[in-house]
Structure formats: C-alpha cells, structure tokens
Amino acid sequence: MKPAPFRYARAGSLAEATALLAEAPGDAKVLAGGQSLVPMLNMRLVRPTVLVDVNGLRELAGIAPTPEGGLRLGALTRHAELAAAPAVIERAPLLAEAARHVGHAAIRNQGTLGGSLAHADPAAELPAALLALGARVRVTGPRGTREIAAGAFFRGLLSTALEADEILIAVEVPAQPPGWGFAEVARRPGDFALAGVAAVLGEGGVRLVGFGVGDRPLRLSSAERLLAGATLDAETAARAGTAAGPDCDPPSDVHGSGEYRRHLATVLAERALLQASARRAPRPR
C-alpha cells in the first residue's frame, strides 16, 4: 500500500514547526527518524494532512552533560548515538544498553529518541529505560515549554501527554546510580521484545520497570515495595520477580500468550535485579 495524500513541509525553525502543527491540529504528524511513522503511513493506519519534517532543526540534536551529573538529550538523537556516546555510557549506561537492543543497525542509525518516546510503543526499550531512570521529557508548543515526568508522559497504548500542537524537544536524565540491570526476550535479534525489564538501584530504593507487559512501560510496584529496606540477594530477587507478575497485564498475540509474557516478566525482573546488585557491589581490589 501507499500513503494517503499529504502535504510535506520541512520546518526551518522550531517556531515554524509548531506553527505548522497548530495550523492542522490533530491532522499533522512530525517526521523525525520515520522508523515507525513511515510504515504506519504506508498501511494507512495514520492519514495526516501535513507531514512536518524536523530533521533540519539543529536545536533538537545533541548530547550534553549537566552539572548535576546527568544528561540533556536532544529529541533528534539517534539510537546509535545513544548506544555509543561516551557521555551516555558513563552517565546513563542503562540507556546505552537499552539503545543497543532497538531494532537492527539500520533502524538504530535513523530512528530518534524523541520519535520513540512520542510513538510510545509499549514494547519499546527506551521509554522503559527512561522511566526507570526517573527522566523528564521537555515539550514545546504555542503555549510555551513544559517538562513532564516520564511516569506521567506515557498514558496508554501509543498515547502520551503530548498535545497535538506540541513537539518533544529534549529529555533530561538525572545522574544514574551504579546499580542497574536490563533484560529482555525477543523471538529474534532486532524484533520487538516479548517482554523486558529495566532496573535501577539507588539510595532512594529500587525502580523496576517492565515493557511489553502492558499498554505502556509499567512500574512493577509490588516488587519495588517488597525490596524496600531489604538486602538484595538471590532469594530476595527471586521473590521480587514473583511479586512482579501480578502488576503485568500483557496482551496475547500470535507470538505469545499473555500468561507467557507475564512469566517472562517474573524471570527477567529477577535477572535484572541480580545484574543491578552485582554492578552496585564494590569491586574487589
């Protein structure tokens, strides 16, 4: 199939891009990497009247360390950049690891951080990693710029807090604690995960996030509560993995049943927690 007819506009500035979106509220789409949008256009799952290309907006690119030890990531940062940038590997290694699991090399070279977050596929790796890291999403539109916590940004299946006339411009990632883990199961390398879990162990407790197990990245709150104040050893990690199961509400499809995905989440939660515990432990001298 081919896309329904649309008008193509290459924005020369952020102000022009938001103005173009405001001219066709709800009927315009932003083109960044296009790795999700173009297939949906071709299958006519979306039929925008205007396609706003933002790839020329240099202010949406770049990876910048922040004084607090975190990162500011431009929305046009490609997945391959996230996976390889020294600043990301040093300051947010969970995000770098998650980016390495995104699709194939061609997808990672073209796909963008902002596009992945705005698309909000519940099986995507980057939304889950940013939720586990406690990141904040910065968006702008005719009413100005605002920041949204990752936990409030993802609202459901392919649904976010982004308004129709707003553009995602950057992501603010706080300093990452040393304890982190990431585990997923996919049918083949490059496929969307059947299920996955990201874990971060910090002074304030554990953040455990599942993906592919609901209509959005999910905080596995029952497991987090079980781990509060507990020593994280193999037995506790196994108990936390079991506790994660009831928090998941995965779909069933031709690739696996919801019950199978829920089981995967329990195993992967345990695995991610053990990884995080091992990374947090002091290295022997």
Please tell me the predicted confidence (pLDDT) of residue 26. Answer: 86
3-state DSSP call for residue 202? Answer: strand
H or E stretch covering 147: strand 144-149
pLDDT digits (tens, 9 = 90+) for 242-264: 999 999 999 999 999 999 999 99
Residue 285: is its pLDDT beyond 60?
no
The residue type at 160: T
H or E stretch covering 172: strand 167-173
- List, in sequence order, the alpha helices (H) in 137-257: 150-153, 221-227, 234-244
DSSP string, 192-232: PEEEEEEEEEETTEEEEEEESSSSS-EE-HHHHHHHTT---
- Alpha-carbon distance of 187 to 285, in angstroms, equals 40
pLDDT digits (tens, 9 = 90+) for 113-150: 999 999 999 999 999 999 999 999 999 999 999 999 99
Please tell me the predicted confidence (pLDDT) of residue 244. Answer: 98
Q: Once rounded to an integer, what is the mean pLDDT over residues 204-224?
A: 97
pTM of the model: 0.96
Please tell me the predicted confidence (pLDDT) of residue 183. Answer: 98
- Alpha-carbon distance of 23 to 128, in angstroms, equals 33
* Residue spans per domain, the chain: 7-53, 60-173, 179-279
- Alpha-carbon distance of 77 to 67, in angstroms, equals 20
Domain 7-53 has CATH 3.40.50.300: no
The residue type at 158: L
Q: How far does Cα 104 stand from its chain's mean position?
A: 16
Please tell me the predicted confidence (pLDDT) of residue 25. Answer: 83
Angle of helix 93-100 versus helix 125-133 axis, rounded to 10: 170
Please tell me the predicted confidence (pLDDT) of residue 282. Answer: 63
What number of residues does the chain have? 285
**Mean pLDDT score across all residues of the chain:** 95
Angle of helix 234-244 versus helix 258-280 axis, rounded to 10: 150
CATH hierarchy code of domain 179-279: 3.30.390.50
Look up the CATH architecture of domain 60-173: 2-Layer Sandwich (3.30)
3-state DSSP call for residue 3? Answer: coil
